[in-house]
Structure 1
């Protein structure tokens, strides 16, 4: 007799179905109704509202487990900010990536000044427990203030042309913003983007820098870690 599929307490659907729905939502530019349709094709009848609750409940948790397996960040950090319009008001998404394009952290804030830059710098240091050897930013003056007050011993390079890694990292956010018809609140944006950056980045290595064989190995490793950290532990 085959064992019953693992479930999460309080949820009637198997854990495998919930994990797969959360994975689809964060990795691809799919709506909740798109995922409802994909699951229906496989004989799983679930509403998009249930999928929304799964994403809210498990997205951050899955991302946190992957964050623990993230390799040590590189020595050069690229920082950039991009605007988000939330409920008609302008907000800013601050993002940091290392020289390999790995997202280190992000923060949604209402301001784009020195105080906001310092808050983001402090968040980075608390979350990573490491300091870089070099920072690369654009010409926003707030970065210079934050650098002098928070990480004065780190070299700071200001260049709009050397910061493409951070700017390119915003592209998945823009795609999801359009697909979701903008974010509804700063809290929702922060929660979703933090989880999405980790899950999306885990399965999306910089393929253009790899051979086909290297990419297959990287993809296999990503799935192996997903199985170890999410599937095995969450089903226990």
Structure 2
């Protein structure tokens, strides 16, 4: 993980309090609110914002929030359900590779312009690196490229030889159901104009989803409400 920017430097030069920035970014990523909805909501609370300002905040701060929350991430299990779903970028379909474990915890995700062997391999490498351990079992649908990616990674010793590969539509209902939480927020955004912006925004949406699923161990400080602004400010602190 890249080095964290000092919290004061992170918000240096901003014309609004960091609490306002955190609130706008979190609400945009978590709820089905448009940028203009947020402008109206914040105006009722005092701050006068432009929708483009909030969009710039999302692009700037979502990656930083992800890095800081990931310090508290719980490891997922080693039985992975893997599937791809679709996201529209500049009017064309892109592919969001995702995996959850048998308990429904998010393992990892990766947005790709293509759906092929190379893209599947890139996803598995990213997921293994983020978890620190390779899966013992991988359950996928019948898409040939994803199965070939696993076989080739075993040959190249990027996956253990004893990793079990299964094809089961029934077992993969878990990941397909989990897609809905991400797609419902993405669909409300009516598509992305740039691939980079799509990847950044989706990373923030996945973070919100992981928080809802209790995938972070906030033992210091001991706070019960993992969506409260106080928790966000604590996590963002450089401790």
Which one has a larger percent helix, Structure 1 or Structure 2?
1
Name the counterpart of 2:171.
162
Aligned residue runs from structure 1 range 124-139, under 5 A: 124-139=127-142
Structure 1 position 36, deviation (Å): 1.0
Distance 2:114 2:62 in 1: 27
Do the aligned residues in 2 keep the contact of 1:136 with 1:162 (CA within 8 Å)?
A: yes
Structure 1 position 186, deviation (Å): 2.1
Distance 1:124 1:94 in 2: 10
Do the aligned residues in 2 keep the contact of 1:66 with 1:202 (CA within 8 Å)?
A: no
DSSP 3-state at the match of 1:170: helix
Name the counterpart of 2:197.
188
Structure 1 position 93, deviation (Å): 1.1
Divergent runs of 4+, >4 A: 221-225
The alignment's TM-score, normalised by the length of structure 1, stands at: 0.83
Distance 1:218 1:155 in 2: 39
Structure 1 position 157, deviation (Å): 1.5
Name the counterpart of 2:61.
58
* 1:127 to 1:139, Cα distance in 2 relative to 1, 3 A: same
Aligned residue runs from structure 1 range 63-82, under 5 A: 63-82=66-85
Extract unaligned runs of 5+ from structure 1: 1-5, 207-216
Distance 2:90 2:185 in 1: 16
Structure 1 position 201, deviation (Å): 2.0
The alignment's TM-score, normalised by the length of structure 2, stands at: 0.82
Q: Deviation digits for residues 40-90 of structure 1, max 9, x if unmatched?
A: 111221121111111111111111111121101112111100122322323
Name the counterpart of 1:16.
19
Name the counterpart of 1:209.
none
Name the counterpart of 2:86.
83
Structure 1 position 174, deviation (Å): 2.1
